Chain A
């Protein structure tokens, strides 16, 4: 290894420990608070049980019991971790109790909705930038569409689709698309309008067509904005999908898992599904982030 490469490696590890330490500290604090909360919130029930059995609990016994209830008010971190592990690794992934299976159901609808929403957002943005009538008419409707509470709309969408005999992925993807087209639309309108007057004058001086102007100038200029919106959009798509899985009748997906957990008081199951969803969201956002870095670096837009 050359000395320069070694210095580079040293700098890299230095930077990563510098970044990991604060994250770790926060994580530990959260876990500590969580444990305290679990003890505090589950203590009432444990005390009631003890009183009914006419036993007196020492403090350590009380704490021990609050952290291993079967249906705690607030499950402790290790219980959620165990629930997650059990759901991910303790089942065949084709089992209806497997979080991987439910996760895949949710993920597929999320990706489908994200694709539809992104395409719709980009197309509408292109229309808005190139057409005066659309410029003046589309945005208010787009904004209005987002002010409708999705929790109220979702069951209707599911029911309407079901009445046409369509169930499963598509209705959920439509809800996901509903939520995810908006950030893409807003980001792309802004992005497609970033080229300044001089850039547009140059294009005009070369007698460029609108199509040439779009493909060679507007679209590449808009990519940083597109990626920023895509990160918001994929997270929104996941939320939309899960909301679409909540209405009664759904049996598959992380949303359904959340719901059935709450029916049966399976708080550990709820939290495990919740964490699975959060991790899925983080993974998706990170994936887009990686794609963004790759693309923008190749385009010389990120340094």
Chain B
């Protein structure tokens, strides 16, 4: 069992000390993410979704508990480039073309020029941006820019993809398309994905497991395993299974929320 765990958190706590006193962003969080899982984190603002993802990425340091990523400490995993991180904003460099942006992490990691070109081409195909490599970011729509940023996170073949509300700034129609594309990509690559979202349908549609969280202190209130098959056409959202699952998530959210 242990060897399939890509992320393993035990009694993980993370407290920020601020001018207004300590903020318990995460408290006693235990969670195992297995190889090939698509895990969504959902919960109201401030419940620690981002903080958890950042702790996995070694961008924050937990104050208590243990956290293993790919069998290593998060920082070792970062140094070995075990994950790709996608933020809410694409964060592409305006002075680089799309291909140049995708090849940026590859340059930093010391891939050869030929390798960089070949990888850039491959991930551009993967996110359906073939032919846009020579364009500059401002020439692309928001959705296309976000696909490019996903391609950038995929280019160096990390096993883990961490995505923090990657489609949060996009409209519903674009979002639907990107959700489909992301599922497709996940099936093709077999990556392990951690995905933060605010949207219940998005979480249910994408995930194999849904982690429901609640704030003050940030904690996990429910982990729901999805009975949905891996092959999911968009229409699956009208099936009774889907609707029941969404209801379960909604209940989980309500139960964690004390209206104080």
Contact A212–B108 (Cβ < 8 Å): yes
Q: How far is the CA of A203 from the CA of B109 in the complex (A)?
A: 11
Q: With A204-B59, A205-B59, A207-B79 known to touch, is A220 a contact of B91 (CB < 8 Å)?
A: no
Contact A300 B105 (CB under 8 A): no
Closest residue to B156 on the A side, CB-wise? A206
When C-beta atoms are compared, the residue in chain A nearest to B95 turns out to be A299
Question: Does B108 contact A206, Cβ atoms closer than 8 Å?
Answer: yes
Question: Which single residue of chain A is at the shortest CB-CB distance from B81?
Answer: A207
- Partner of A199 from B81, B85, B91, B105 at Cβ < 8 Å: B91
Partner of A206, one of B89, B95, B109, B138: B109
Give the distance in Å from the alpha carbon of A217 to the alpha carbon of B85 in the complex: 17
Q: Is B104 on the interface with A (CB-CB < 8 A)?
A: yes
Which chain A residues border B94 with CB–CB below 8 Å? Answer: 299-301
B contact residues around A199 at 8 Å (CB):
91
Q: Which of A199, A201, A207 gathers the greatest number of chain B CB atoms within 10 Å?
A: A207
B57 at the interface (CB under 8 A from A): yes
* B interface, size bucket: 20 to 34
In the assembled complex, the Cα of A290 lies from the Cα of B167 at a distance in Å of: 39
Asked whether, in the complex, the Cβ of A206 is within 8 Å of the Cβ of B91, the reply is no
Query: Given A206-B109, A208-B108, A300 and B79 touching (CB < 8 A)?
Result: no
Question: Interface on B for A, CB 8 Å cutoff?
Answer: 57, 59, 78-79, 81, 83-85, 87, 89, 91, 93-95, 104-105, 107-109, 136-138, 156
Q: Which residues of A contact B (CB under 8 A)?
A: 198-199, 201-208, 212, 216-217, 220, 299-301, 303
A–B Cβ pairs within 8 angstroms, 23 of them: A198-B87, A198-B91, A201-B85, A202-B85, A204-B59, A205-B78, A205-B84, A206-B104, A206-B109, A207-B78, A207-B79, A207-B108, A207-B109, A212-B108, A216-B104, A216-B108, A217-B93, A220-B95, A299-B94, A299-B95, A300-B136, A300-B137, A303-B138
- CB-CB nearest 4 A-B residue pairs: A299-B95, A206-B105, A205-B85, A300-B94
